[in-house]
């Protein structure tokens, strides 16, 4: 039995009157690559952001390994993290890759990659630099290490952002549409890196519009619709006979788009 790396139970989130997540549960075992699909506005980003508490869920449980993020209700009735230090500790184990890269603009690529290992984990700098250089070589931008993010193409920036997330040696990686902000000809280089990570047995949750990646690379596909999990299963099932009609409509629209 492969242990569960990340477990989400009955996650709910509303923005004002808008109920975005209506109770989402998902278990990722170690090494799972799970693609999360869904129409725009279906709550995919909100779901990922609730996992590392960039958004505060209204209710539900997030468990990383055997540690549950402790929540409590504030005096105003809104929920919040009970222990900020615990949240920081768990975030350090959840690597996040954003649609817009979000590299720190005032640091070189190498500084971006060693920043959190040195200043969050407190690891020795020389060791982090050596590891960062290996990671940058792995994602194919070793020659850019002394340049600033603004001097890189989108695809290079996203690969740097992936290296930055990897440098924390995360237990689970969260990708929020990592290729959506890229020119079409740059999508491939980022997907190639992600395929490599998947083949190394890393645990990954990938929000994506890349149907090919979802079908060919992931172990599981989760389709979100109106704040609920509409279907969930291995790509062969979901893309075969197991998928709902709504999922088929979604895929059909994407294939033609």
Partner 1 sequence: MDFGFMAQTTVALLSGLPLTLELFVTSVLAGGVLAALLAWMRAGRVPGLSALAAAYVFVFRGTPLLVQLFLIYYGLSQFPEVRHSVAWPVLRDPFWCAVLALALNTGAYTSEIFRGALAAVPTGQVEAARACGMPRLTLLRRVVLPIALRQALPSYATEIILMTKATALASIVTLKETMFVAAKLNSETYRAIEVFLCAGAIYLVLNIAIARAVALLEWRLSPHLRRAPDALPGLDTPLELGTA
Ligand X SMILES: Nc1ncnc2c1ncn2[C@@H]1O[C@H](COP(=O)(O)OP(=O)(O)OP(=O)(O)O)[C@@H](O)[C@H]1O
Total interface residues for partner 1 by CB under 8 A: 44
Residue 208 makes contact with ligand X by CB under 6 A = no
Among 10, 15, 70, 127, binds ligand X (CB under 6 A): 15
Residue 46 makes contact with ligand X by CB under 6 A = yes
Nearer to Mg ion, 108 or 158 (CB): 158
- As to burial, measured by CB atoms within 10 angstroms (0-12 exposed, 13-18 middle, 19+ buried), residue 252 is exposed
9: CB partners within 8 A, 6+ apart: 25, 60, 61, 62, 63
Among 35, 42, 52, 112, binds ligand X (CB under 6 A): 42
Residue 204 makes contact with partner 1 by CB under 8 A = no
Strand ranges in the chain using DSSP code E only, listed in sequence order: 4-15, 18-29, 33-38, 59-64, 67-68, 71-73, 79-81, 94-97, 172-176, 203-207, 220-225, 228-233
Residue 98 makes contact with partner 1 by CB under 8 A = yes
Residue 156 makes contact with partner 1 by CB under 8 A = no
Nearer to partner 1, 11 or 94 (CB): 94
Structural contact between residues 208 and 36, judged by C-beta atoms closer than 8 angstroms: yes
Structural contact between residues 56 and 68, judged by C-beta atoms closer than 8 angstroms: no
> Smallest distance from the beta carbon of 56 to partner 1, in angstroms?
12
Pick one of Mg ion, ligand X, partner 1, none as the site partner of residue 250 (Cβ within 5 to 8 A by kind): none
């Amino acid at each position: 039995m492969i242990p569960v790396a990340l477990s989400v139970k009955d996650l709910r989130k509303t923005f004002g009157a808008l109920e975005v997540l209506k109770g989402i549960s998902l278990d990722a075992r170690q090494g799972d690559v799970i693609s999360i699909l869904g129409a725009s506005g279906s709550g995919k980003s909100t779901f990922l952001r609730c996992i590392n508490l960039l958004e505060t869920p209204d209710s539900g449980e997030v468990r990383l390994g055997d540690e549950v993020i402790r929540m409590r209700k504030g005096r105003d009735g809104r929920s919040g993290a009970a222990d900020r230090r615990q949240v920081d500790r768990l975030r350090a184990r959840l690597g996040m890759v954003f649609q817009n890269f979000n590299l720190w603009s005032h640091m070189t690529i190498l500084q971006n990659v060693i920043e959190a290992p040195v200043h969050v984990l407190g690891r020795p700098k020389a060791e982090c630099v050596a590891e960062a250089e290996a990671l940058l070589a792995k994602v194919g931008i070793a020659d850019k290490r002394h340049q600033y993010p603004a001097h890189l193409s989108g695809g290079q920036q996203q690969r740097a952002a992936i290296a930055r997330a990897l440098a924390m040696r995360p237990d689970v990686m969260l990708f929020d549409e990592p290729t959506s902000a890229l020119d079409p000809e740059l999508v491939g280089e980022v997907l190639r890196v992600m395929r490599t990570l998947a083949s190394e047995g890393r645990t990954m949750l990938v929000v994506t519009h890349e149907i090919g990646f979802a079908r060919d690379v992931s172990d599981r596909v989760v389709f979100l619709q109106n704040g609920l999990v509409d279907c969930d299963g291995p790509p062969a099932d979901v893309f075969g006979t197991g998928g709902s009609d709504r999922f088929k409509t979604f895929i059909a629209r994407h294939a033609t788009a």
